Amino acid sequence: MKITMVVKVLIDGTLCQKCQQVHERMKSRGHLEQIDQVVTASDDDPDSTGALLAMMFQVGKAPFFIVEEEGRAPVIYTAYLKLVKEVLAKAEAKLLTVR
């Protein structure tokens, strides 16, 4: 499984407020380690990787997450808590049972 987080970077170079809040929450809960890649959608660059992904998946807000599993279509999560419930918590439980 591969998880990509797309964050919005404002013209002044900072993360948007919601992206910053989610990033901090993920960091405090130890979820950042489960993210394989973070890409940016830059306000001043419509060709930035994150902007192109947002256009491809028709997502109009950030942050959002792309979960890819071999043999399956990518699943898009626009809500961090839904990602935690449906993906991250299950991955954590699987790790604990393997140990």
Q: Tens digits of per-residue pLDDT, 51-83?
A: 999 999 999 999 999 999 999 999 999 999 999
CATH assignment of the domain containing 48? 3.40.30
Total structural domains within the chain: 1
Q: What is the pLDDT of residue 98?
A: 46
If phi over 0 gives left and psi between -120 and 50 gives alpha, with beta otherwise, what is residue 30?
left
pLDDT at 95: 52
Q: What is the pLDDT of residue 93?
A: 59
pLDDT score at 27: 94
Neighbours of 12 (CB within 10 A): 7
Q: What is the span of the domain harbouring residue 62? A: 2-98
pTM assigned to the model: 0.90
pLDDT tens string 4-44:
999 999 999 999 999 999 999 999 999 999 999 999 999 99
